[in-house]
Structure 1
Amino acid sequence: MKNNLAIIALESFHEQGKKVNEILCKWRNADNFMISCKCPRFSSGEAKGIISESIRDKDLYIMVDVCNSSLRYKMDGEYNRMSPDDHYQDLKRIIAACNGKASRITVVMPFLYESRQHRKTGRESLDCAIMLKELEFMGVNSIVTFDAHDPRMSNVLPLMGLENVSPALQFTQGLLTEYEDIQIDSDHLMFIAPDEGATERVVFLASVYGVNIGMFYKRRDYANIIDGVNPIIAHDFCGGDLDGMDAIVVDDMIASGGSIVDVCRQIKERGARRIFIFSTFGLFTNGFAKLDKAYEEGLFDRIFTTNLVYQKKELLEKEYYYSINMNRYIAAIIDTLNKHEPMQPLVKPEKRIRETIRNYKSV
């Protein structure tokens, strides 16, 4: 088969991109698949996208982390921090620089841009859908994302591929590697959804593990909007007895950390033995003070998040933090798509999770 694979990693995902490239080169006995790019800016803050070599007839994979808050650019003599909007604009610039010459373009966007604005109520924008239609218009053939806030966003693109990948396998491997005394049965373990939006993830994991679920629902103050959302008044629990059980709270992201701390407190008050948190994206937008205090109070035992988004150095030093490395899985996804092989075993890896659990129980 003609080797037409090419990878572009924007600055926001450059370090992970290099590692993904190294993995693919090792698997395929190749020297390099990476094509360098840059988005230089004028003093006004305007920019342009540049790629270093031809991508004609290439199966191209462009990787971007729209949540990377560590990058800055100079505008009018001062430095601005790059926002998700800036990262998304740079992605479009690089796609435009391809000039339609690639045979196929796949965007690997682990955190789906504007996925929190996935539905409209009243007179407001529907940003995630607009983004998806823009990429379709620009000639993108497929999008790979992880644990989308609302998987129904794929309905925006009925004739285009949107692979919504679950990192449930990697979370399982991480937990069962770190802890040798997890009893995987309905008498000792429960998966818990911190809100109704997380229910689908929790049902999937609980079904594979063969345990029960619990769910919190958020009571909100719909008369007010603070920081773009209706503030949460309380979390109410629906579920069975938690006394003496291990609980795993599963969500797509941790932003400020306030909700997850409140949920953990209520679980602990119901007698849970240990509390583990699975969150695909650890944004920690308000720092770590709330989580540090909650950990000191014994409200949770471990937080597992992935390296699919930028990880602050301070986070990596936390005693309670476990980083799930997804570089090899991204490489497997690119390898599978490039070979036109089925994606289902990677999107929802049920069989491998069951196998991991069987092996854990047999030891």
Structure 2
Amino acid sequence: MDQLNIDFKESIPVAQLGIIPLESSRELGQKVNEYIVSWRNDRLSTNQGNILFENYKKDTYIIDSKCSRFGSGEAKGTIYESIRGKDLYFIVDVTNYNVKYKLCGYENRMSPDDHYSDLKRLIAAAAGKARRINVIMPFLYESRQHKRTSRESLDCAVALQELKSIGVDNIITFDAHDPRVQNAIPLSGFESIQPNYQFIKALFNSVDDLIVDSDHMMMISPDEGAMSRVVYYANVLGIDMGMFYKRRDYSTVVNGRNPIVAHEFLGASVEGKDVIIIDDMISSGESMLDTARELKKRKAKRVFVASTFGLFTNGLESFDKAYEEGVISKILTTNCIYQTPELLSKPYYVNVDMSKYVALLIESLNHDRSISELLDPSDKIHRLLKKYNNR
């Protein structure tokens, strides 16, 4: 809290703050709001009498809003408070399938397309009256369709250009499947943030007997796409890394993709070492569990899985079985997207809470301060590692 006072007490906000969490992100939005309310109430500033600090301290910064649906499934977005001149932050989880609506008497679960449409509706409801519009979309909409390999749609690029065209100034996402998709809007604000510090902190808090050195621990990339993430962790922790690559059958397509024939490993021996598999998402989990089994075959000691987004599209049974068999020890995913009560109750699951980090991002941007230190937490990780080793 002292650091927050030092950082912001002399700063002037861009405009009055407004947070609009969509139904898909109500819980995360409420936690973010509570942090900001607490920080601002405790903060002492020499500029409190300045007109620019009008309504700086409030009981809540959440703007009352709603997306209502007609019986036909059509919808409208409504904002129930004045947002003129405000710095607005929309928070949306496009993967939250637990949000439902009625369609011609049937109950429908909302898809990513539905959540994205609701986001556009509420931005349209702002009607250009806000000072600045920012979108926090932890799981980037259509980020898995980010490149063209044949006659295909470029959905993510189209969505980014569409958001820009309706007035969005900044887009903040976490661990984009391929951050190069920002090239679709090169003159707009776009940040793909890695929750590196939060993962390491959560792992250290949940496992108290790790030995963090090259003789006892190793970072693993499950495929070539996660290499950059794993290289960062390995360098900042001072340990070795290894990589699997997926040998696929390109003559066959199953569920929209080429099936994996084998996982080939590149790297030093993992025998007797704790290994941490890092990736951006767990979808069905099949590939991740195959990687974990391959590591156990190579006599790895314990296998920890860390992934920003835990979708678990095929349920948790395969993970339960892997835990019972000793294939995995812990699974860490963030609360940026919907987590089922069943997942939260699992003995192997570690919830990585991102609400404080999101609140700090919003607070920094609202004060027009650099977020460079938030994007590269190397120093914080080194301090955390030193504290853990001296425990």
Q: Same fold (TM over 0.5)?
A: yes
Q: Which amino acid aligns with 2:290?
A: D
Runs of 4+ residues deviating >3 angstroms: none
Corresponding residue for residue 111 of structure 2: 83
Structure 2 residue aligned with 1:26: 38
Match of 2:324 in 1: 296
2:237–2:382: 8 Å Cα contact kept in structure 1? Answer: yes
Equivalent-residue separation in structure 2 for 1:171 and 1:303 (angstroms): 11
Tell me if the contact between 1:261 and 1:294 (Cα under 8 Å) persists in the aligned partners: yes
Structure 2 residue aligned with 1:10: 22
d(CA) in 1 for partners of 2:254 and 2:366?
44
The reply to whether residue 165 of structure 1 matches residue 177 of structure 2 is: no
Query: Could you say what the CA RMSD is over the residues aligned between the two structures, in angstroms?
Result: 1.0
Tell me the secondary structure at the aligned position of residue 303 of structure 1. Answer: strand
**CA–CA distance in structure 1, aligned partners of residues 23 and 111 of structure 2:** 13
Quick one: which amino acid aligns to residue 230 of structure 1? N
Please show how residues 175-186 of structure 1 align to structure 2 within 5 Å: 175-186=203-214
Q: How far 1:239 moved relative to its partner?
A: 0.8
Within 5 Å, give how 1:64-83 maps onto structure 2.
Answer: 64-83=92-111
Q: Tell me if the contact between 1:9 and 1:36 (Cα under 8 Å) persists in the aligned partners.
A: no
CA offsets, 1:104-154, max 9 Å, x none?
111000000111111110011111111111101111000111111111112
Contact preservation (8 Å) 2:137, 2:173:
yes
- Give the match for residue 66 of structure 2: 38
Distance 1:32 1:182 in 2: 41
Matches within 5 A, 1:186-225: 186-225=214-253
TM-score norm. by structure 2 comes to 0.91
Per the TM alignment, residue 54 of structure 1 is displaced from its structure 2 partner at its CA by 1.4
In structure 2, the residue matched to 1:113 is: 141
Q: d(CA) in 1 for partners of 2:349 and 2:74?
A: 38
* Equivalence for 2:5: none
Q: Tell me, what secondary structure is at the counterpart of 1:40?
A: strand
Partner Cα distance (1:264, 1:329) in 2: 29
1:201: how far off?
0.5
* Pairwise CA distance, 1:348: 2.4
- 1:224-245: CA deviation from partner (whole Å, max 9, x where unpaired): 2222222222211111101101
In 1, Cα distance between equivalents of 2:163 and 2:261: 37
CA distance in 1, matches of 2:369, 2:331: 34
**Residue-pair matches, total:** 363
Q: Secondary structure at 1:129's aligned position in 2?
A: helix
Alpha carbons 2:206, 2:350 under 8 Å: kept: no
Specify the alignment match of 2:356 in structure 1. 328
Matched, 1:63 2:75: no
Report the CA distance between 1:255 and its aligned residue: 0.8
Distance in structure 1 (CA, Å) of the matches to 2:262 and 2:97: 30
Contact 2:222/2:278 (8 A) holds in 1? yes
- Give SS of 2:68's match: coil
Paired residue secondary structure (2:76): coil
CA distance in 2, matches of 1:250, 1:175: 12
Equivalents in 1 of 2:113, 2:23: separation in Å?
A: 14
The 1-side partners of 2:305 and 2:350 are apart by 10
> CA separation in 2, counterparts of 1:37 and 1:220?
47
**Structure ID, larger Rg:** 2
1:148 is paired with a residue whose SS is: coil
SS, match of residue 328 in structure 2: coil
1:49 aligns with 2:77: yes
Partners of 2:39 and 2:299 lie apart in 1 by 48
2:339 equivalent to 1:311 = yes
- 1:99 paired to 2:127: yes
Instruction: Output one character per residue of 1:219-274: Cα deviation in whole Å (capped at 9) or x when no partner.
Output: 12222222222222221111110110110000011111111110000000111101
Task: Say whether the 8 Å CA contact 1:165–1:348 is kept in structure 2.
Answer: no
Q: Which residue of 1 aligns with 2:379?
A: 351
SS in 2 for 1:342: coil
* Residues in 2 aligned to 1:263 and 1:328: alpha-carbon distance in whole angstroms: 32
Q: State the Cα deviation string for residues 281-323 of structure 1 (Å, max 9, x = none).
A: 0010100111111111111100011100000111011111010
State the shift of 1:202 in Å.
0.4
Shift of 1:346: 1.2
One-letter amino acid of the counterpart of residue 24, structure 2: S
Q: Which 5+ residue runs of structure 2 have no aligned equivalent?
A: 1-11, 42-56
| SS of alignment partner, residue 293 of structure 1 | helix
Separation in structure 2 between the aligned mates of residue 156 and residue 251 of structure 1, nearest angstrom: 24
Report the TM-score when normalising by structure 1.
0.98
Which whole-Å deviations, capped at 9, do the CAs of 1:156-194 have from their partners, x for residues lacking one?
Answer: 221111111111101111111122221111111110000
State the alpha-carbon separation in 2 of the partners of residues 86 and 222 from structure 1: 33
2:236 and 2:128 map into 1 onto residues whose CA distance is 43
The partner residue of 1:241 within 269, 274, 277 is 269
